[in-house]
Structure 1
Amino acid sequence: MSNYRPTMLSFTKGLVMAAWLLGIPVFSAAQEVKYTVGKPTWMADSLGNHRAAVAFNGNGNIARVLIPWRRRDESPEKKRIIVQDAKTGQKITNVAVISINREQGDICFEPVSGKGHYYIYYLPYKNEGSSNYPKGIYQAPENTADQKWLSAIPTGRPKYNVTVKELQAIDTFNSFYPMEVIATAAETKQLQQQHKDVAYLVFPEDRLLPIKMTDDLPAKWIRKGPQQSFSGKADKGEYYAFQLGIYALKAVPEITLSFSDLKSADGKVIPAKALDCINTSGVKYDATPFANKVTVPAGKIQALWCGVNVPDNAAAGIYKGTVMIKPTGMPAVPVELSITVTDKQAVNGGVNEPWKQTRLKWLNSTLAQQNEVIAPYLPLELKDHVISLLGRKVFLNPDGFPAQIQTFFTPEMTSLSTQAKDLLAAPMHFHFVSATGKDVTWRNTGLNITTQDSGKISWQSASTSPELQMEVRASLEFDGFMDYTVKVTALQEVHLKDISMHIPLQQAASKYMMGLNQKGGYRPEQLSWKWDVANKNQDGAWIGDVNGGLQFSLRDEQYVRPLNTNFYLQKPLLLPASWGNNNKGGITIGAGESAILVNSYSGEKTLQQGDTLYFNFHLIITPFHPVNTDFQWANRFYHRYNSLDSIKATGATVVNIHHANAINPWINYPFIEHARMKSYIDEAHQKGLKVKIYNTVREVSNHAYETFALRSLGSEIYTPGKGGGYSWLQEHIGKNYLAAWFVPDIKDAAIINSGMSRWHNYYVEGMNWLVQNVGIDGIYLDDVAFDRVTMKRIKRVLTKDGHPGIIDLHSANQYNNRDGYINSAMLYMEHFPYLNRLWFGEYFDYEKNDPAFYLTEVSGIPFGLMGEMLQDGGNPWRGMVYGMTNRLPWSDDADPRPIWKVWDEFGMQGTQMVGYWVADNPVKTDHPQVLATIYKKPGAVLVSIASWAATDTHVKLQIDWKALGINPATATITAPEVDRFQTGAVYEKGGAIPVEKNKGKLLLIK
């Protein structure tokens, strides 16, 4: 942002309203004041980010100064003043505040060094709370002055004998100049009087000076006055942004803008459709139209960010036209536009210079929205109402609901089978129970396929009864995601005892469960759950086995994705009016003789004629694809910015660049140091390494060039909240935001995103730019705040033109009160089809949780993925049962390289993984709590055993030698020496093998 902030700017003050240098107004009092960056700098965390540099020219021990600081913060009289001797750095204790307000401060102090320079700090704060979530507390006024010195101040107050030389910020990024230097109350009142007959004023503003305040006029605008014209200069092909600042003298209702063509003197035209305003219209993240109602309360300021998409082939020249501002029921105000198009051709539409706000056009991007099939998935096939997709089939009933769902994955999960596994014991269906206790009977119109392409098939069906009509619209996508909209309309007044949806599941496809207050593990025999959206981010569950399962989520038409990762309680789920039914609804799961019945009920409900309810739901069919074990063995992640030679020496192959380092300093905004990033990635590629970067959506750095343009969009991009946090946010964002992650060393302060918004369009475009211009090989996601629509788009741009597009997802365990007791795997299952690896480890307990928890919530295997461990280095013995190690160099106590060495010496590439969960695994132990997974190749097998037994124990291996293809007569069983894992040993066939509590063995049979 320093690209557009000057380091020293000045203005001259006259008696009342003197002219500002550069056309900017100044204050009363006859002296020159400069806005600068302080040199030398100072410690912000004790003195704050702002000070007045003053010079004492008088005599005696009482200095008095009037500082015309024009502050935007509220209640400055409640904040401390610190005076410091510039020569010695000594804090001066004899200070007396005559008066302080937002416009100026009248202060006396003792000039301890006599004539000379002093500093007066006026926003000192201290950070409290955690280092990454600080609370900037502005210090209260203090009384340190000696009574004797105070009594020496004349009753009539001394004359001013101090000159304000400069108003300094600690750096350019913290400067208030010029757009946060406020107009005085008198200046504002005078402006209002001059224009008392109009409802609003227009202040066009350059793109390099974002409008930042909504409650105060910039003093700059007082001198310049309202304008009805704007001129700018743009290159060919550039997106040229500019602002229209609306100052409401009266409440301004909904504003619309209309643009005319821009025409040159010789008849050349930039058509009106090339102009837009991001505040009023655009395209949502899901490619549907965006329309926003912009109103401005009386006394407030609203920035309207407009842009001109200058055509690539535009002729150089001056183009003129008009933008008409049209508030409903108020006179329209025209603003004349004059855009000079240069002979220069913008590079990449100007987006390579984002400080010019050229990337604002990304907010309305539709890049990668086409629902093209993404590898390894296959095009959908439809035959006789049966839809086939990779490893799965869906059979549709005439009412639009699934009659059967099948999967074709082997229990090993490494390949597909010709043998189908049925997930349903009976068709899915709804029950509408009348007041008499009888089911409503329906007449169905049959199934109608509405759209069919390789990536998505949609259908609809309608059912009617004398009392009700049910319209079903649904679709299935190539990854196994099913979306149902079930609209129920009352044709007459009707009282219903209950409305419920039944999912009858096969016993064999319902071994495990997570969701609905259940940690990942074995499915309970009975479960009864009620909605509690204020506290719990729960609206469904996953029930399944390793090679077949189903996630269901209950929604209605008002669904909004809640916040996650510490912020669920600030923006929780909305209770579905249908399923929730004023907390009458819930879910029961029970085991019957032949099926597991998932009963989602809404309870008693009376509908009036014309009433409509939406019983919407999602289904996700798992697994998504076979497990790619070879990718796991070949791609070894190094998760830190470091020298590439040292990384390569570890044996790692993929570098994950987190944020807060030299090439990726700003969280979720990896664009400012992109040149250094590209240089690093180019070198990595030369050395045979891949590089992925941290970049996600949940929060965004305050260093983003577009921060204040995004703030002009209200709560669309940034979620409303209590404010606070690091001082920069309080001083420049002001209020109504949620402070997020903070990096103390570089003062990077993030702001929480609202959730689903056009920022996802920007995110997709940004990823595409990083792939094409910087060469990233993928991304590291640290929890996710977007849905599968954006994930699909991201995968497409990351893999475009043959790029590897590797995505790994980290999640801290979100099964806690701050996150609404949601299982991380439940929360992110819709993203799993596009991931290459999981890193579900932070706050996961690897010691106390059982194998079923590992399998369902950590490993990723039931979904076609593999993972790694994190918390405290994980448990390497248990991890290897699922093919997991920890990640370099995350934990010094759990270095994965010794196990990597075993992989390389054994030759893991091409092996077949057969987990303990496979019934006919050729190698088992005789202890039910000591489990074995094998990695098999011709003539040899690597056996991983891990113990969940309560004590140290001994086990014997039960080996199917024929299945292994090994002659037992000549076979040997050895434990290779593995540093910090096990000592070398040789074991007799059929002999006892010692296994320590919570540990295990790696055994080589050949």
Structure 2
Amino acid sequence: MRHPRALGLLTCALLAGSISAAVAQTQTLQDGVQLRWNADQYGNHRYTVAVAKPATAVQATIPWHRRDHHPESVATIVVGPDGQVVGNVVRERIDQAEGVLAFEAKQAGTYAIYYQPYISSGSRNYPTVKYRAPTDTADAAWVKKNRLDDPRRAAKLPQARVTGYQAVDDFDAYTDMEHTATPAEVQRVLAANPGQPWLLFPETREHPIRMFTQLPERWAGRGAGGNFADHALRGEYLGFQVGLWTARAAAQDVRVSFGELHGPDGAAIPAARLTCFNLGGIDYAGKPFTDRLDVAQGRVQPLWMGLDVPADAKPGVYRGTLTISADGVPPRQVPLAITVDAGEAVAHGDNDPSRLTRLRWLNSTLAQNNDLVKPFTAVTVHGAKLGILGRTVMLAPSGLPAQIDSFFDERMTGYTKTPRALLAAPMQLLVQDAGGSTHALNAAGTPKVVVDGPGKVHWQVAGQAGPLRGEVTASLEMDGTLSYAIALTATQAVKLDDIRLEIPLKNDVAQYELGLGRTGSATPDSFAWKWNVENNQDGAWIGAVNAGLEFHLRDEHYRRPLNTNFYHQQPLVMPSSWDNAGAGGITFARDGARYLVKAFSGARTMAAGQTLHYDLVLRVTPFKVIKPAQHFAERYYHGYANLEQIKAEGANVVNIHHATPINPWINYPFLTPVAMKAFIDQAHALGMEVKIYDTIRELSDRSPELPMLESLTGCRIGADGKAAPGPCSEIISAGRGGGFSWLQEHLDGDYIPAWHVPENRDAAVIDAGQSRWHNYYIEGLDWLARNVGIDGLYLDDVAYDRTTMKRVRKVLDAHRPHPLIDLHSASQFDARDGYINSALLYMGLFPYIDRLWFGEEFDYEHTSPAYWLTEISGIPYGLMGEMLQNGGNPWRGMVFGMTNRLPWTGGDPRHLWQLWDAFGIEQADMIGWWVHDTPVKTGNPDVLATSYVRKGDKTLVSIASWAPATTKVKLTIDWKMLGLNPSRVRLVAPAVEGFQPAATFKPGDAIPVEPGKGWLLELEPAR
């Protein structure tokens, strides 16, 4: 994602030319005062007042009904008809209900009173907005002359007439649900409902509840109670609310039940078609859940309901009730009267997001299945031997892997008949008792494997590990992910020296490692690591290019942390089993023919019946073969521009970021579908593809669902019937508020401010890493693919995990002929992000994406080939990618098949693209420097060569140096492998602007290579 300290990706100068600010209306008031103004100077809100004739002082009473709790601490600014700030102003009384000001009026006309001016500082994309404090600018002589220190005199001043309220634009305006009731109005509501601990206010979807600690003036005027009435089309999804105000007492364990709705001529709508989103639903993994909702005294809790009106419902009025109850108070009923109109909704009404029909998407299970995803094959089961694409897993009686084999070849473009074994011995979970004896978790016989679908199998094992009873529930999926839930239960009180997992990898496989605070490099001979909540670290990847293993240690309370600048606001939940209050850790050690990984948890005492969860996630890499021909054929343009110009520059895949005319709002691409479709249709006519920025990590304030999402604050109920640990904010991550002015003025403060685009005043908040918003996201992608025709996604530091990523792939595959997904990340290896490797953070997504763009803050100049291979290129996992920071290093990039993208500064790939086309790189076999029998070698470990071979025709050799100084290399060439006769071959370096001058070498020549640079040499028969 875009760090404030490195804006290489989202330099806003690029955006400024592509989208204009969506700010104020341009109408002019009668006397010349315009509605447009500078919000950074005056704030977003004002009232205008009319002064009939000049006066040394006039009084204005502003009925603003403000939602900010301490308006007396916020400045007001009075501006006259001439556009000048009035200095002589006295704030006689400022409270939430109204403001009374006296000011000098040298002219007749319209005066503007701005009442929430602010100062914005800090990063333009992560602004700090502070509201101006009041200052006394009135001249003492003017105050004395007009006797404004005497309230009786002030009351006799000429009165300025309030003519209206305006906001800097329509979106910033306060709604009728944000005007607070006065204290007197609140008391009238209470007096009308004596003895009631809490009151109910039915409300339509057109008026979403936005204040959670104050009563709206709208409700005070209407009064509490009454029925809910609304209209809906047949087949429409009708959302509505009931506001619960805990006026006199808290409400504990709020519950909602529904009755059947009875319509005309005996027609009925079943109660099952009604739901309350606040109390549960279907989670992002497709599992039903229940939330417990407690509402503290004095709060307003929106209860959002949904009614799925049948498409065949008979038109007419349907009546019924919903019942709201809580502990210790009598249930309360809300009568419902839903008029079903004769018309039929298109797609449930989903084509208009403002109607909030899409709320039903929150409980969607679309693409939540075990079907296959290309290119993966069905999981095969032959007793204890399980097969997936390019790999097999043999299970031990414990249910853990006894052996893992990889059939991927070193080139990563195909498979071998002779597999590469990853393990030197079976994995074991060991329990060491206080007497020094060590017991392996084991069970009799072979695990019984159950097929859940072509893409997944699972098994369960009950076993024993000395004094502990073990229960293993595990699964293997088509992509190579092994998930283990391991429960160890003490049958009696016991003291233990350790519980640990041992992963004995083969030495020849354990070539590279990344994770646990280490960047990608050769595996260390020994290494020790301890748990630390400051770090987003719970595992690592160890392996070779064509055989590797990723592992993560977790427990039953795992939740995905926030990432990209926000890790410390929702860090890892330390697994109580593995961490053991700081006693646990991980060691690596090279031990003869094996490389032993030990994940230990240390000494502890377990009570009789106590259960510890030693959960484990393993991923076997690579996930799939790389496809160099496809990679080189797809040329990326990352920006919004004229499509014919983009095509002329050689690109054929266009990524449309947010903050562009056809995709203006971050992660909410539904408000400009006509313009987006027109652009995509034009691209398709030109033979191009268009992908859009749309991910889950943050959400634009333009989302119509945002007020509803704010209301989802129940605490998840676990299998034991108790509230699970963790935050009670389901979708919008809880935080300290702040950020851009709109967020502070329209949200209730419990959020984390995120990315802000000043050009179109788009501000976002951070989403939770695992929530029902993922279900909405999947439905949204399905809608975009069907209705707009997007060809895929540009993912920019996503928050979701592989469960959602699989669903993304499935919905795009279902609707688009050639969907593409690329993933960008800024380097996460820093203190702010908890020193997590981007490749490790996102490895679970890699099976379902097509390309990497790693990325901002990646160091292309001072890092090793091993770092490039494991952290940037994606090749050991079945992916290829591109470079970003400062344009990357084009010489080093080419040994991994990488360039940068258009139109990003620091590099221009067009000249390399032209060379690719002239050579015919799409018809060549890519043989990387990491292949043991690569046909071209330099003889210098600091100068690497990758060959692009068109056997019997010509070969392109990419040479890049990591040597500290200029060096010379003589190429060792396997001419037979290339199908060339050395006596008839010359080595030609074509001139490539910004890359290399033209040059010619003979086989055996010493080729000079500058540090950090290299060559592209064509080996071609002399003509």
Closer, same or farther: CA 441–546 of 1 in aligned 2, 3 Å: closer
- The CA deviation at 1:873 is 0.4
- The CA deviation at 1:6 is 15
Q: Match of 1:157?
A: 153
In the alignment, structure 1 residue 209 sits paired with structure 2 residue 203: no
Query: Which of 148, 170, 173 pairs up with 2:171?
Result: 173
Q: Match of 1:429?
A: 428
Give the AA of the match of 2:133.
Answer: A
In the alignment, structure 1 residue 604 sits paired with structure 2 residue 580: no
Q: Match of 2:230?
A: 232
Which piece of structure 1 moves more, 844-853 or 287-296?
287-296
Superposition map of 1:675-690 within 5 A:
675-690=674-689
Q: Match of 1:137?
A: 130
Query: Which of 985, 989, 994 pairs up with 2:1008?
Result: 994
In the alignment, structure 1 residue 593 sits paired with structure 2 residue 592: yes
In the alignment, structure 1 residue 777 sits paired with structure 2 residue 773: no
Q: State the alpha-carbon separation in 2 of the partners of residues 365 and 797 from structure 1.
A: 13
Contact (CA 8 Å) 1:447, 1:461: kept in 2 or not? no
Greater relative contact order: 1 or 2 (C-alpha under 8 angstroms, separation 6 or more)? Answer: 2
- The CA deviation at 1:307 is 1.3
Query: Which of 69, 72, 95 pairs up with 1:74?
Result: 69
Give the AA of the match of 1:214.
Answer: F
Closer, same or farther: CA 59–910 of 1 in aligned 2, 3 Å: closer
Closer, same or farther: CA 809–442 of 1 in aligned 2, 3 Å: closer
Q: Match of 2:538?
A: 539
- The CA deviation at 1:59 is 5.2
3-state SS of paired residue (1:671)? coil
3-state SS of paired residue (2:783)? helix
3-state SS of paired residue (1:678)? helix
In the alignment, structure 1 residue 908 sits paired with structure 2 residue 908: no
3-state SS of paired residue (2:180)? coil
Q: State the alpha-carbon separation in 1 of the partners of residues 732 and 932 from structure 2.
A: 50
Give the AA of the match of 2:90.
Answer: A
Contact (CA 8 Å) 2:785, 2:815: kept in 1 or not? no
Give the AA of the match of 1:933.
Answer: T
Closer, same or farther: CA 6–207 of 1 in aligned 2, 3 Å: farther
In the alignment, structure 1 residue 497 sits paired with structure 2 residue 491: no
Contact (CA 8 Å) 1:858, 1:867: kept in 2 or not? yes
Which piece of structure 1 moves more, 570-579 or 333-342?
333-342
Q: State the alpha-carbon separation in 2 of the partners of residues 290 and 544 from structure 1.
A: 38
- The CA deviation at 1:986 is 0.9
- The CA deviation at 1:766 is 0.3
In the alignment, structure 1 residue 369 sits paired with structure 2 residue 362: no
3-state SS of paired residue (1:867)? strand
- The CA deviation at 1:259 is 1.2
Q: Match of 1:391?
A: 390
In the alignment, structure 1 residue 97 sits paired with structure 2 residue 91: yes
Q: Match of 2:141?
A: 148
* Cα-to-partner distance string for 1:694-736 (whole Å, 9 max, x where unaligned): 0000000000010101111121010111100000100000311
Contact (CA 8 Å) 2:398, 2:441: kept in 1 or not? no
Q: State the alpha-carbon separation in 1 of the partners of residues 559 and 999 from structure 2.
A: 57
Q: State the alpha-carbon separation in 1 of the partners of residues 33 and 823 from structure 2.
A: 42
Superposition map of 1:698-847 within 5 A:
698-714=697-713, 715-847=729-861
Q: Match of 2:35?
A: 40
Query: Any runs of at least 4 consecutive aligned residues in structure 1 with deviations exceeding 6 A, and if so which?
Result: 5-8
3-state SS of paired residue (2:965)? coil
- The CA deviation at 1:441 is 6.0
3-state SS of paired residue (1:569)? helix
Give the AA of the match of 1:799.
Answer: D
* Cα-to-partner distance string for 1:873-927 (whole Å, 9 max, x where unaligned): 0000000000000001112x41101110111011111311111111111101132
Give the AA of the match of 1:147.
Answer: A
Give the AA of the match of 1:190.
Answer: R
In the alignment, structure 1 residue 318 sits paired with structure 2 residue 317: yes
Q: Match of 2:110?
A: 117
Superposition map of 1:395-414 within 5 A:
395-414=394-413
Q: State the alpha-carbon separation in 2 of the partners of residues 928 and 211 from structure 1.
A: 65
Q: State the alpha-carbon separation in 1 of the partners of residues 541 and 201 from structure 2.
A: 55
Closer, same or farther: CA 572–315 of 1 in aligned 2, 3 Å: same
Contact (CA 8 Å) 2:54, 2:106: kept in 1 or not? no
- The CA deviation at 1:281 is 2.3
Superposition map of 1:439-458 within 5 A:
439-440=438-439, 444-452=443-451, 453-458=453-458
Q: State the alpha-carbon separation in 1 of the partners of residues 60 and 449 from structure 2.
A: 77
* Cα-to-partner distance string for 1:808-843 (whole Å, 9 max, x where unaligned): 000000000110000000000000000100001110
Q: Match of 2:939?
A: 926
Q: State the alpha-carbon separation in 2 of the partners of residues 633 and 171 from structure 1.
A: 46
Which piece of structure 1 moves more, 541-550 or 186-195?
186-195
Instruction: State the superposition RMSD in angstroms.
Output: 1.6
3-state SS of paired residue (2:105)? coil
* Cα-to-partner distance string for 1:52-101 (whole Å, 9 max, x where unaligned): 1011235531111111111000211111111101x211011111111211
Q: State the alpha-carbon separation in 2 of the partners of residues 291 and 662 from structure 1.
A: 40
Contact (CA 8 Å) 1:975, 1:1003: kept in 2 or not? yes
Q: State the alpha-carbon separation in 2 of the partners of residues 261 and 743 from structure 1.
A: 47
- TM-score w.r.t. the length of structure 1 is 0.95
In the alignment, structure 1 residue 298 sits paired with structure 2 residue 319: no
Q: Match of 2:8?
A: none
3-state SS of paired residue (2:785)? helix
Give the AA of the match of 1:473.
Answer: T
- The CA deviation at 1:231 is 1.0
Give the AA of the match of 2:115.
Answer: Y
Give the AA of the match of 2:707.
Answer: F
Closer, same or farther: CA 227–6 of 1 in aligned 2, 3 Å: farther
Give the AA of the match of 1:106.
Answer: V
Q: State the alpha-carbon separation in 2 of the partners of residues 999 and 703 from structure 1.
A: 47
In the alignment, structure 1 residue 126 sits paired with structure 2 residue 119: yes
Q: State the alpha-carbon separation in 2 of the partners of residues 442 and 646 from structure 1.
A: 64
3-state SS of paired residue (2:360)? helix
* Cα-to-partner distance string for 1:616-646 (whole Å, 9 max, x where unaligned): 0100000001111111111111000111111
Q: Match of 1:968?
A: 982
Runs of at least 5 residues in structure 1 that lack an aligned partner in the other structure:
9-33
Give the AA of the match of 1:212.
Answer: R
Aligned residues: 971
Contact (CA 8 Å) 1:656, 1:693: kept in 2 or not? yes
Give the AA of the match of 2:127.
Answer: P
Closer, same or farther: CA 899–442 of 1 in aligned 2, 3 Å: closer
- The CA deviation at 1:174 is 1.2
Closer, same or farther: CA 38–457 of 1 in aligned 2, 3 Å: farther
- The CA deviation at 1:464 is 2.1
Closer, same or farther: CA 6–826 of 1 in aligned 2, 3 Å: closer
- TM-score w.r.t. the length of structure 2 is 0.94
In the alignment, structure 1 residue 55 sits paired with structure 2 residue 68: no
Query: Which of 869, 873, 886 pairs up with 2:887?
Result: 873
3-state SS of paired residue (2:186)? helix
Contact (CA 8 Å) 1:446, 1:462: kept in 2 or not? no
* Cα-to-partner distance string for 1:196-226 (whole Å, 9 max, x where unaligned): 2112211111111101001111101111111
Query: Which of 99, 106, 115 pairs up with 2:100?
Result: 106
Q: Match of 1:24?
A: none
- The CA deviation at 1:227 is 2.5
Q: State the alpha-carbon separation in 1 of the partners of residues 593 and 817 from structure 2.
A: 48
Give the AA of the match of 1:489.
Answer: T
Q: Match of 1:88?
A: 82
Closer, same or farther: CA 196–389 of 1 in aligned 2, 3 Å: same
3-state SS of paired residue (1:710)? helix
Q: State the alpha-carbon separation in 2 of the partners of residues 645 and 628 from structure 1.
A: 27
Q: State the alpha-carbon separation in 2 of the partners of residues 635 and 246 from structure 1.
A: 55
- The CA deviation at 1:122 is 0.5
Q: State the alpha-carbon separation in 1 of the partners of residues 514 and 491 from structure 2.
A: 38
